[in-house]
């Protein structure tokens, strides 16, 4: 019997059926034929390539697999992504390359599969998921700048990341405030530099888009926070609740600022919430879930208000037209990607103490402000 025939039989038994019985049948066929492993991997890489054609990206696949399955499946899909990457016929841009780099090095082909039944079952579970992925909005990247243009940007972003990491780690509020303020200053400077360059020299750059994971629990509040950060940085965010991410549309430098600031604020919120919750529990309260949900909802609401106020900055007259033009371009790209969107209201926010503590933590959060634009 050929290896291809073994894989075909296993797929017919397991992939297009539901339930454990069908899965066990397919796994038994694969476990009994180690020679079929190479063909099984090749088919998996074809599933990955199909996902790319349907709008998915490496980080998206890893996120959905982690969300729906477990670490063993994450390792399997990472191996498939890295194995398929050299077969790509075109470069997909810097963001795509960065996502591949975060996956690490591909596993050696000779790695032993000690428990063949468990391995085969995990592969089929993964392929079932990949087979049923819906189509997403394609986020094709614009042409990447040349190496000489990207090195200064990389240094700037490296400095911003380092400053935010120190702000999150320090136990001294004054130091955190100074570090976060400096990071926000660099973000604003980088964004303004991009806008000024566009005003002085015609550029082919158009708005791009990226997906940022919005992980449970309390994902509604986290999505609201991300939307506030996006709006303050001249971007638009659209939340996909079933798949656990938001798509953020904007110019490249602003997208970087959104990712960095959103991550930092989540860290600050989690740290503040843990401390506030400990104090509440010491006082005899036990409604941990409702407290946390209300805390994060209030935090997102209050930080959004602060960011909106910070975004209302006076600009010089010569910069107004280019900023308006970029805003129109972002809105147009977002409307083309998402012609139909709906709004949602936060659910389950009814803990007064959690809301009060979350608002207070948001007032203490280091969001910085944009300096006066030249």
pLDDT in tens, 317-371: 767 777 788 889 999 999 999 998 888 776 666 667 666 767 777 666 666 544 4
pLDDT in tens, 258-293: 988 888 888 888 888 888 887 777 777 666 788 888
Model pLDDT, residue 201? 57
**With contact defined as beta carbons under 8 Å apart, do 329 and 234 qualify?**
no
pLDDT in tens, 67-110: 999 999 999 999 999 999 988 767 788 889 989 999 977 665 54
Lowest average pLDDT, out of 194-198, 228-232, 242-246, goes to: 194-198
**With contact defined as beta carbons under 8 Å apart, do 38 and 111 qualify?**
no
Model pLDDT, residue 196? 63
Best-predicted range by mean pLDDT among 47-51, 206-210, 298-302? Answer: 47-51
| 163: Cβ contacts below 8 Å, ≥ 6 apart | 179, 180, 182, 183, 186
Q: Quick one: pLDDT band at residue 212, thresholds 50, 70, 90?
A: very high
Does the CA dihedral 228-229-234-236 come out positive or negative? negative
Work out the average pLDDT over 295-319. 74
Comparison of pLDDT for 46 and 296, the residue scoring more: 46
pLDDT in tens, 12-59: 999 988 889 999 999 999 999 999 999 999 999 999 999 999 999 999
Sort 262 into a burial class: Cβ within 10 Å, 0-12 / 13-18 / 19+. buried
Q: Quick one: pLDDT band at residue 187, thresholds 50, 70, 90?
A: low
Q: What are the two backbone dihedrals, phi and then psi, of residue 284, each rounded to the nearest 5 degrees?
A: 105, 0
Work out the average pLDDT over 157-161. 74
């Amino acid at each position: 019997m050929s290896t291809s025939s073994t894989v075909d039989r296993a797929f017919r038994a397991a992939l297009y059926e539901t339930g454990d019985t069908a899965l066990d049948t397919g796994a038994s066929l694969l476990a009994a034929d180690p020679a079929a492993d190479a063909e099984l991997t090749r088919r998996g890489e074809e599933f990955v390539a199909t996902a790319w054609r349907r709008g998915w990206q490496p980080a998206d696949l890893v996120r959905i697999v982690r969300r729906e399955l477990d670490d063993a499946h994450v390792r399997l899909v990472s191996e498939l992504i890295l194995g398929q990457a050299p077969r790509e016929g075109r470069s997909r841009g810097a963001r795509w390359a960065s996502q591949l780099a975060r996956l690490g090095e591909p596993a050696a082909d000779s790695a032993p599969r000690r428990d063949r039944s468990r391995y085969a079952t995990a592969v089929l579970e993964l392929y079932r998921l990949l087979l049923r992925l819906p189509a997403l909005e394609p986020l094709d990247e614009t042409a990447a700048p040349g190496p000489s243009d990207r090195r200064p940007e990389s240094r700037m972003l490296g400095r911003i990341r380092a400053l935010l990491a120190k702000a999150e780690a320090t136990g001294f509020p004054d130091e955190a405030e100074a570090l976060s303020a400096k990071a926000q200053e660099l973000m604003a400077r980088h964004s303004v530099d991009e806008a000024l360059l566009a005003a002085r020299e015609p550029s082919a750059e158009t708005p791009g888009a990226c997906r940022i994971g919005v992980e449970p629990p309390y994902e509604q509040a986290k999505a609201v926070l991300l939307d506030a950060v996006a709006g303050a940085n001249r971007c638009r965010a659209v939340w996909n609740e079933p798949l656990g991410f938001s798509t953020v549309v904007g110019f490249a430098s602003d997208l970087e600022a959104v990712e960095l600031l959103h991550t930092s604020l989540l860290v600050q919120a989690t740290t503040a919430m843990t401390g506030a919750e400990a104090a509440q529990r010491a006082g005899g309260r036990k409604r941990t879930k409702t407290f946390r949900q209300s805390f994060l909802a209030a935090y997102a609401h209050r930080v959004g208000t602060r960011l909106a106020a910070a975004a209302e900055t006076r600009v010089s007259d010569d910069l107004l037209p280019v900023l308006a033009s970029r805003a129109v371009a972002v809105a147009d790209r977002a409307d083309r990607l998402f012609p139909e969107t709906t709004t949602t209201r936060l659910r389950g926010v009814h803990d007064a103490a959690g809301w009060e503590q979350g608002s207070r933590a948001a007032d203490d959060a280091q969001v910085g402000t944009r300096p006066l634009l030249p």
